[in-house]
Amino acid sequence: MAQSRILNIGLIGAGRIGSSHAQLIARAVPNARLAAVADPVEGAAARLAEELKVDAAYTDIAQLLADPEIDAVVITAPARFHAGLVEQSAAVGKAIFCEKPAGMTLDEIDRVRRAVETHGALFRIGFNRRFADGFPQARAMIDAGHIGTPQLLRSTTRDPGLANPAAVAPWTIFLETLIHDFDTLNFLNPGARAVQVHAVADALVAPDFKDAGLLDTAVVTIRYDNGAIATAEASFSAAYGYDTRAEAFGSAGMVTAGDLAASSLRYYGPAGLAGDTVRADTQSMRGAYTAELQAFTDTALGQPTDGPGVEAAGEALRIALGCIESCGTGAPVTLDIVEAIR
């Protein structure tokens, strides 16, 4: 594989983010080739394959994994299948890019870790914020010492709307939304580990679904072993669009990343100044999605790049699991205990 100039990628899961990643692999990552698509939903893989002129489409994922021409997989199946798919993919020697989370439990993360280590597989997780506009630059400033020791951090994710509250799986806000913020905070506090979390969450967007377990708004406080105190905050419904920002404050300064403006256009009229805002992740994160797939492809082809792996997946997940625990007790949770009980 290292000798090949093009990485043949099989995509597993042809849903919303799968389709988006498929397009980027097919069109925006020059040294990647979308070679196959698999999805158990009848017709889903075929439709996407036809649209992107991909040769192979499977409803049976095993067939994709069995194809020796496939060098790598991009896993965009539902979260509960991630760990199992990683194990299967690693076993047949594929390089693996897996959407977040890598697993739903720390046991699953352990299984992922073992599979990857046993088979020497490349593993990357889709923590896109690490590649988003302003975020890697923020980390570079931190690595260069410009903020000194991190003391106060903040990361926000607000989605533009909640179409179907009934379809939201329990704890989604922690396991699938805020997990980006947990990773962002870990990323912006390099070398430190979260030691305690406290979560406050509610159904403020769709209160009728609270009894059914919906949490659509949350604020999480995280303490790190270097003393830093971080806040992660999410909402499933921002009237103005898609909002992902971060801030890291330390003994020597502060960095901020994330921009709400959709373009450089500004209008000045009788009502004052105005501009458009980012409306969707595919708008502001297109560059990040491309960059993370590019970095994965380059690494798989023998050119090492930085990117989040199993370690980062586990570190973010333990915070998310701590939040679930904290929601139950209503109190702060020490993360060592979360790990001990698995």
Contact 127, 157 (CB under 8 A): no
Closest contact distance (angstroms) between CB of 109 and its own copies is 26
Question: Which residues contribute to the site for its own copies (CB under 8 A)?
Answer: 26-28, 30, 133-134, 137-138, 141, 146-149, 151-152, 154, 158, 198, 200, 202, 204-205, 207, 217-219, 221, 223, 227-229, 231, 233, 235, 237-240, 249, 251-277, 330-332
Closest contact distance (angstroms) between CB of 92 and its own copies is 28
Closest contact distance (angstroms) between CB of 185 and its own copies is 12
Nearer to its own copies, 59 or 283 (CB): 283
Nearer to its own copies, 42 or 144 (CB): 144
Closest CA to 316 of 175, 154, 221: 175
Contacts of 33 (CB under 8 A, 6+ apart): 6, 7, 8, 9, 25, 26
Closest contact distance (angstroms) between CB of 29 and its own copies is 8
Residue 244 backbone dihedrals phi, psi, to 5 degrees: -130, 110
Closest contact distance (angstroms) between CB of 86 and its own copies is 29
Name the β-bridge partners of 98: 75, 125
Measured between alpha carbons, how far is residue 112 from residues 101, 116, 188, 256 in Å? Answer: 11, 6, 24, 33
Nearer to its own copies, 87 or 243 (CB): 243
- Residue 141 Ramachandran class (φ > 0 left, ψ -120 to 50 alpha, else beta): alpha
CB 148: neighbour CB atoms within 10 A?
13
Nearer to its own copies, 120 or 270 (CB): 270
Nearer to its own copies, 94 or 139 (CB): 139
